[in-house]
Structure 1
Amino acid sequence: MPPEVQKGLLRVLEDGFVRPLGSNECRRSDFRLITATHRDLPHEVRAGRFREDLYYRISVFRIHMPPLRDRHGDIAALASYFLSKFSKKYGKVLPGIDPSALECLNAYPWPGNVRELRNEIERAVAVAESGLPLQVKHLSDKLRSHFSPSTAGLCQNFKERLHALERTLIFEALKVCGGNQTKAAAMLGLSRYGLAKKIRRYQLHDMVHKSQQR
């Protein structure tokens, strides 16, 4: 922002008056100012490129927005939003995003943040076939270079194996303890309430009932 513009903005914020271009009269202004930047403003102040008084005037309430690469949970929602938007623009019907394509999106670091994701989805929609989900082949080479199909679903498989192991351990503990949930919970290092939740999750009620009937 040029120094003269900074000076004018500070004057408006301090006095509450603005003079329209070409007018000799000042008018009272009533607005809420929201600013955004990707630059380090304290550094810009020290370097003399940004007014210190303006910096303190606009930094009353600050919100730090992490880069998209640190917000993987937002990628799917944003991609779906842009998919809907650009499907209408290009007159196509694309029923969602293929799971592999979504994993490809999550594997990319997104140095250009949301703007880069927006452009990527628009490009993919433009080349995609109507009637089919958005697929990996529709994404650009730079995204596909960060994605290995052999690792697709690795996290999901890990969770499934972890749950299977947990179910087996709970089953064995209940068996050893004769279905006594209090003893089994102590053996597993869980609270009785926590064990009860896992018994419901893994549908081990029959194991408990059979042991209690003996």
Structure 2
Amino acid sequence: MDVSRQRSAASGDTERGSGEAVERGPRARTKRLMLETATRLMQAGVTPSVSEVAEAAQVSRATAYRYFPSQAALVQAVVDEGLGPILTWKSTSADAERRVAELFDTAMPRIEAFEATFKAALKLSLDQWARRQAGTLGGEPAFTRGHRVDLLQQAIAPLKGHLPPREFKRLAQALSLIFGVEVLIVLKDIWGLDSRGTRSVAQWAAGVLVRAAMADSAIGGEMTPSAG
């Protein structure tokens, strides 16, 4: 889910604060209106086009496309909004298992809160895949996903240098199977678990994977995993 942040071209609409560019003025308000409108539509289960968001937000299509030149750019921006604090997650722990647990504790409630948004984004990804397979996607920009890759590698960072690179990568890949909206689809939609049960299974599986990776590389004695 790599998101391209579009900045206002007018310097008068941008101020500096805390080291980051902060958009101000009418253009920023229009962009915010479009993001809020798109989020509302996606939370209702719709994967809107730029034109549909423009109509719902009562702005011109030309204006809408200046901010979001494609459906993929729009959906990526909405997903970024939905992820919110997950994208800035940090841990001070040196224990990989604890760090993974902390990441899941931060991410799971947010993913559930924006479940409909992330499912709508997943639908776009699947629709684009189907059209690409059929040769009908044309030049439409691809909706890309991938924040979980960096987040999970950051979570297991203490194992770098202890696990061989191939096994480090494999652990991150295995964790990615239980991190994201897909875990809700499996555990809530298919298995019928509630939120508490879903989080419990995901956390348990994550801990098992981390401990198994450490045991496979015989580093359990070097780095004692957390009791959680």
Same fold (TM over 0.5): no
TM-score of the pair, normalised by structure 1: 0.27
Query: Whose radius of gyration is greater, 1 or 2?
Result: 1
TM-score of the pair, normalised by structure 2: 0.26
Larger helix fraction of residues: 2
